[in-house]
Amino acid sequence: MTKVLIIISTAEIEKALTGFMYAVNSVRYSWLEEVEVVLFGPIEREIARGNEKLMPWVEKLKELNKTPYACRKIAEDEGIVESLKPYAKVEYVGSVISKLINKGYVPMVF
């Protein structure tokens, strides 16, 4: 079984778009059996702000029933928890990431 954990962290929009595009297309076209997405770091601010380049990709993930996780600790520190909730499952992601890796998910970081 092929499983991937896509961690999107970067504040560089072009790099983040690459991660979102790969995640969406991996799910849409069944390139992999399992795909999970975690927003972890500066990217969370961009999503909370509603970055117009990124939001269509977040919506596409949700349409495919792949709502990404977002790091609660970072969101709390930035004061953006409520702004992220419509777009992501806001949780403490350290244990989420560890569990997925232990289940055989291969991490890809953007």
Q: List, for residues 60-96, the tens digit of each pLDDT value.
A: 999 999 999 999 999 999 999 999 999 999 999 999 9
Neighbour order of strands in the sheet with 69-71: 89-91, 69-71, 34-39, 3-8, 106-109
DSSP secondary structure letter of residue 85: T
pLDDT band at residue 1 using 50, 70 and 90 as cut-offs: confident
Q: Spell out the domain ranges in the chain.
A: 3-109
Q: Which of 27, 28, 48 lies closest to 39 in space, CA to CA?
A: 48
Provide CATH code, domain 3-109.
3.40.1260.10
Q: What pLDDT, on the 0 to 100 scale, is given for residue 52? A: 97
